[in-house]
Amino acid sequence: MTSDTIAPKAVNRILQEDMVAIYEGLSTAEKDKLRNSTILITGCGGFLGYYFMHFFAHYAEELQLKRIIGLDNFLTGTKDWLDTLVENNQGKVELRYFNVITDNVADIPGADEADIVIHMASIASPTFYRIHPIETVDANITGLRRLLDFYAEKQLKGFLFFSSSEIYGDPFPEFIPTSEDYRGNVASIGPRACYDEAKRFGETLCYLFSEKHNMTIGIARPFNNYGPGMNINDKRLPADFAKAVVEGRDLEILSDGTPTRTFCYISDAITGYLKVLLHGKFDVFNIGMDKPELSVREFAEIFNREGKAIFDYQGEIKFSVSADQQYLTDNPNRRCPNISKAREVLAYEPKVSVEEGIRRYLEFLHTFNGKLQ
């Protein structure tokens, strides 16, 4: 069976269900803030961009969106699905090659009319930001500063900066679950510093511009998202496990399997990010799932079980050591958010269990033979 014969039906079931879940997760007031907007998204070709772009395209008519402008230099993002999205939504969705570090956003047609800006242009996978450390720093600092300068006086409805749970570093046990007021235990020198410290300084820039220019800036700190839209070559843990299932290889764990994480399915995550964006004033929020906190071994076991049901997967879980001697350097032992603030202030409530989320991710990949469509 080829992807061509089953793609339309399956993409409707997985993506459309998720689009509806995101839409229904927003309040009437939040939807009203989106209406009649021009939306500009940097880093639109990445994992989160996949869902943001599909969501805005899917609800463009209902929300009476004027334009959706996607920008990316495709250093790590993917383009084929975006070309299809643009073709299917001509007049609403636009795609521009754009290097946020060096290019001038003023040169993008319609950028000066944007009401909402979502800045995601960065490299989030440790494998890739170690290959491109300077670009990672520049996207989160230089690129962010250029956007803030351009939009400082333009009265935006909202500006969303994607920070990271990595700004907390490796929290001491008494600070897990980790709340937004924890200041972090972060290495300023090391293989992860380019990402962690760039995100930290990016938050400082957002704070300063909100103070000086009264900009409506929301900062989201994501905690381990996964699901459809995550390329299996991404090199992060969910992608590695999904790739092994798709290819019928053993699930390889490059540690002793004891580090723990919580994992948030993509539709729950996007709902949270939109709530941060539309909050209406400067603030910072953890967005993720607060339970269960799973070991890497337990996470692999779920992929194993769901893989058997969907792919007739016959692989096993095996432990190995990475050839990269710095693979585990500064890798947090635990990562679990306290999302009480998002619950109370934003009415944010993630709903998709890890088992259901992994099942949906693998079903999506099964539809497209592991590729994004």
In a domain, 347, yes or no: yes
- Residue 107 falls inside a structural domain: yes
* 3 state DSSP class of 243: helix
DSSP 133-187: HHHHHHHHTHHHHHHHHHHTTS--SEEEEE--GGGGBS--GGG-SBPTT---B--
Residue 92 belongs to some domain of the structure:
yes
Residue 303 covered by a domain: no
Q: Is residue 359 part of a domain?
A: no
pTM given for the model: 0.94
User: 366 in a domain, yes or no?
Assistant: no
Q: Up-side HSE of residue 274: CA atoms within 13 Å toward CB?
A: 30
Q: Are strands 260-261 and 294-295 parallel, antiparallel or unpaired?
A: antiparallel
Q: Mean pLDDT over all residues of the chain? A: 92
Query: Can you give the CATH number for the domain in which 204 is found?
Result: 3.40.50.720
- Condensed to tens digits (0 to 9), the pLDDT of residues 11-58 reads 468 999 999 999 999 999 999 999 999 999 999 999 999 999 999 999
CA–CA dist 352, 336 (Å, integer): 16
- Does 103 map to a domain? yes
Confidence band for 327, pLDDT divided at 50, 70 and 90 = low
Given 195, 226, 265, 313, the catalytic residue: 195
50 labelled catalytic: no
Q: Which domain holds residue 142?
A: 3-229+266-290+332-353
pLDDT in tens, 100-112: 999 999 999 999 9
Q: Are 289 and 255 in contact (CB under 8 A)?
A: no
Number of domains in the chain: 1
Kindly report, residue by residue over 257-312, the tens digit of the pLDDT.
899 999 999 999 999 999 999 999 999 999 999 999 999 999 999 999 999 999 99
Kindly report, residue by residue over 223-246, the tens digit of the pLDDT.
999 999 999 999 899 999 999 999
pLDDT computed for residue 2 by the predictor: 31
* Residue 173 forms part of a structural domain: yes
